[in-house]
Structure formats: C-alpha cells, structure tokens
Amino acid sequence: MLPMPEINAENMKDMMTAEQWELAAPCFAKSKGAIRLRASRPTKAKGASQYIWRMIAFTISTNPQHHCMPVGADFYINDTDYAHRDDKYIPRAETEHDRETVAKWDAKTWERMHKGTQRRKYMSEELDPIVDLITESIPKSQWRGAHRWHKAFYG
C-alpha cells in the first residue's frame, strides 16, 4: 500500500490556534522520516480529534477502507468535547416532525437526544475548517479518496 501523503505539520501549527492544533496533532504520526496522517483512527484522543482524522482520511487516505462515506463521523464527538460550551450556544430548532417523533419519549430522553445532536452539529461546523486547512495543504493529486469517488461518479 502507498504511504499516506506527507503533511507539513510545522506550517499547519502556525496556521492554527493552540486549541485547534491540540485537536489536530493526534491525527499525525512520524513515518519514514516524515509527518503523515496516522494509518488508523487515534482511539485514545478526544472525539473531536477522531472526527478530524476520519474526515481527512476520507479525502486523502491511501487505504480503500477509509474511502467509505463518513456519515457517522460526528458520533465520535462526545460530551467531553463540548463540555466547556455554554448551552446558550446551541439554538433550539424544533419542528412538527420532531414533536411527533418524540411524543413517545419522556422529557429527559428528548433533552439528551436533542442537545447531543445539536451540539455535535455545531461542533462539527467548528471542526470542518481544521479539516479543510489540512486537506487543502496536500496536493489534490494525492487526494486518493476524492479521486476514487470521482471515478465512481464520473467513470
């Protein structure tokens, strides 16, 4: 298998805030004298770091297993990742469908499910710029996952 593309970690560190770098750093490993994306998800890192790794791996990984759509990637983001957030940060957006769907749930379950979903959504919106910054630093010719999906759609 081809090695993961090289990442200029020092350049990345200069372009991110300290908090962003703290989340992005576990995604990288030194391999063959260069900084590269880790070959597997950093399971001991924060959920936000795991989310960042998964989104980057989808685009640039050389491993075909990583090219599956990352539809569940936001589930890596857990309570500890946004515990410092104020609940006022999360807007409340209830629809008629929400009310019908949760009519069977008790209030405690509804609050837990709704807040968790909203928090993951807003946290992923904060993490996506980090993902974009890293993936855009790699030449598009090395975006293996993106190339694979392009072939699937356009032949």
Tens of pLDDT along the chain (155 residues) come to 788 888 888 888 899 999 999 999 999 998 878 899 999 999 899 888 999 999 999 999 999 999 999 988 888 887 555 555 544 444 444 555 555 665 666 666 666 666 667 777 778 888 999 999 999 999 999 999 999 999 999 98
What is the rounded distance in angstroms from the CA atom of residue 126 to the CA atom of residue 29?
23
State the total domains in the chain: 1
In a domain, 145, yes or no: yes
Q: What's the domain range around 19?
A: 9-82+128-154
Residue 26 lies in a domain: yes
Coil/strand/helix, residue 36: strand
Asked whether residue 91 is assigned to any structural domain, the reply reads no
In a domain, 78, yes or no: yes
Separation in Å, CA 83 to CA 21, 87, 123, 129: 19, 9, 11, 20
